[in-house]
Structures are given as structure tokens and as C-alpha cells.
């Protein structure tokens, strides 16, 4: 059934003491959906725009892997429990690519208008992750050759589109990063099985067409 624009479903995680339960969310992603995850570095301190990593000019403050590195991403319950028991507020980072989903992202303002166009076109979307500056449309895993062939066939691809495939990552709700809270713009149903996601071809075709037609081509951020 097509998602309804603006409809909000409950966060997957429970809340304890008014704070998001990162462990509960991480366990859902890893053990129920088989999405490989790991803890992100996080902000320097709660509510801070800085990053806890040593890079004073970090381009993704709090929103990237550091220790452990991306290759440590796992679906193992014991490892996930150990990580978030020791770091309960760490962002939940999804390692994109099989067995988990990939993603296509674009600046938040452009994404909001593009999703409205997608709704009018009655295109079915899966989960969409929203950060203060970018939205991430989750899609089925794709290979680099597949993506390259897809983009080569286009006359024009907006520079604001980014592709998060094998070797990439996306921060998932209910994480907090140096740029603010991560939330679901389109949330999976609570307690549902592994969420359905569209093929990248369907998403890219419609996004490029929508951005071209409406003139929504925000500068790359």
C-alpha cells in the first residue's frame, strides 16, 4: 500500500527516561532485519555541533564510523548488545550494501519536494531517513556496474544526488549526530518483518525526472 505523505508512524525503538533506546533500535535492525550495523562516533557532547573524532574539521560530525571501523558492521546480537551497553547513546550506523539496503540521498529541501512528486505519481517507497540536511531513500542492494550503467543512460543527473552502496553507510534513527536528530520521514511499520525497499532503477528514474521537471536541483552539500 502506498505511503501517505506526512503520515508518521512510531519509532521502532522504545523510549526510556525520555531518551531514545539506541540498543533496541540496533537490535531490531541487526537481528530482525539482518541489516549490518555498528556504533558511530557520535557528537562531541549531547547537543554539540562538533564530532567526537580527532578531526577538528570533520565533514560529517558525529555521523560516521571511527572505532570500530565500517568493516566491523555485523548482525550478531551479542556484539550489538556489547557495543550499545558500553556506548548507549552512540549513533546506529548501517553499512549499506548486501545483505542490507543501499540508499540514494539528496538535500532535505529538494527531497521534501521530490517525495511529494513521488506521492502524486503513486510510486511506492520504502523507509526514508531524514537528517537536518539530507534525506536518504533506502533501496535494494545494487552493484557499481549496475549503477554505472543506469547513470550512463541518463542525459543528466543532478549533482545533489548521492549514492550509498557497497562500502558506504547511513546513520539510522533514533540517532543524534553533530548536526542534530536523525528521524524517519517514512517509517517502517513497528514490529513488521524486514522492510520492503524499491529497486534503485525506479527511484533514480523518478527522482531525476522530478528534479528536472520541477527545477529542484539544490547545490551539492
Q: Nearest CA to 80 among 15, 16, 172? A: 172
Residue 220 is predicted with a pLDDT of 46
User: Does 16 have pLDDT greater than 50?
Assistant: no
Q: How far apart are CA 156 and CA 33, in angstroms?
A: 35
Task: Give the mean model confidence (pLDDT) for residues 121-144.
Answer: 91
Give the 3-state secondary structure of residue 113.
helix
Residues 6+ apart with CB under 8 A from 204: 104, 150, 151, 154, 161
Over the stretch 187-203, which tens digit does the pLDDT of each residue have? 987 666 789 999 998 88
pLDDT of residue 158 exceeding 80, the answer is no
Higher pLDDT, 215 or 210: 210
Query: What are 139's strand-pairing partners?
Result: 102
- Say if residue 173 is preceded by a cis peptide, omega within 30 of 0: no
Contact between 200 and 139 (Cβ < 8 Å): yes
**70 alpha-carbon distance from chain centroid:** 15
Please, what is the Cα angle at 127 between 125 and 130, to 5 degrees?
115
Q: What average pLDDT does the structure give for the chain?
A: 82
pLDDT tens track for 79-108: 999 999 999 999 999 999 999 999 999 888
CA 158/CA 191 separation, integer angstroms: 36
Highest mean pLDDT among 6-10, 45-49, 204-208: 204-208
Task: List, for residues 57-68, the tens digit of each pLDDT value.
Answer: 888 887 888 888
Which residue is associated with the grid cell 524499491?
Answer: 198
Amino acid at each position: 500500500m502506498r505511503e501517505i505523505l506526512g503520515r508518521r508512524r512510531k519509532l521502532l525503538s522504545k523510549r526510556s527516561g525520555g531518551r531514545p533506546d539506541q540498543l533496541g533500535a540496533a537490535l531490531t535492525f541487526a537481528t530482525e532485519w539482518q541489516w549490518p550495523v555498528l556504533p558511530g562516533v557520535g557528537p562531541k557532547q549531547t547537543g554539540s555541533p562538533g564530532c567526537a573524532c580527532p578531526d577538528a574539521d570533520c565533514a560529517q560530525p558525529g555521523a560516521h564510523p571511527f572505532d570500530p571501523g565500517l568493516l566491523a558492521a555485523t548482525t550478531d546480537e551479542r556484539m550489538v548488545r556489547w557495543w550499545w551497553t558500553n556506548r548507549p547513546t552512540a549513533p546506529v550506523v548501517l553499512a549499506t550494501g548486501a545483505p542490507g539496503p543501499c540508499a540514494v540521498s539528496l538535500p532535505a529541501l529538494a527531497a521534501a519536494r521530490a517525495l511529494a512528486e513521488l506521492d502524486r505519481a503513486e510510486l511506492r517507497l520504502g523507509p526514508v531517513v531524514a537528517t537536518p540536511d539530507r534525506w536518504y531513500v533506502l533501496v535494494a542492494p545494487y552493484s557499481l556496474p549496475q549503477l554505472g550503467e543506469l547513470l550512463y543512460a541518463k542525459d543528466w543527473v543532478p549533482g545533489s544526488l548521492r549514492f550509498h552502496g557497497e562500502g558506504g553507510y547511513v546513520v539510522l534513527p533514533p540517532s543524534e549526530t553533530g548536526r542534530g536528530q536523525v528521524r524517519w520521514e517514512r517509517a517502517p511499520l513497528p514490529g513488521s518483518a524486514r522492510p520492503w525497499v524499491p529497486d534503485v532503477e525506479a527511484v533514480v528514474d523518478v527522482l531525476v525526472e522530478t528534479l528536472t521537471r520541477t527545477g529542484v536541483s539544490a547545490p551539492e552539500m
